[in-house]
Amino acid sequence: MKPEKPKVSTEKIVEKMELALQFVEDMKISTPNTISSLPERRSRRVIQQRKLQKLIS
């Protein structure tokens, strides 16, 4: 039972982080200079996902 607890909490943390990232993305979408920042945002998201995968594994 005890070893499973951290896994559940990390999954919840990742979920919350993803929701927060999505919220930030949505906020950026509502700004007028969206088109110019699209590639930058995509690469940032990929980097963050890689960091998360390293932390989880």
Q: Crossing angle of helices 34-56/4-29, nearest 10°?
A: 170
* Residues 6 or more apart in contact with residue 34 via CB below 8 angstroms: 28
pLDDT at 51: 84
Give the pLDDT score at 27.
Answer: 72
Evaluate whether residue 18 is within a structural domain. yes
User: Is residue 1 situated within a structural domain?
Assistant: no
The pTM score is: 0.36
Number of folded domains that form the chain: 1
User: Do 25 and 40 meet the contact criterion of CB atoms below 8 Å apart?
Assistant: no
Q: What is the pLDDT of residues 8-24, one digit of tens each?
A: 688 888 889 899 888 88
Distance linking the first and last C-alpha atoms of the chain: 20
Phi, psi of 55 (to 5 degrees): -65, -40
Kindly state the tokens that stand for 48.
Answer: 């963050």
In a domain, 2, yes or no: no
What residues make up the domain containing 39? Answer: 10-56
Query: Higher model confidence: residue 13 or residue 5?
Result: 13
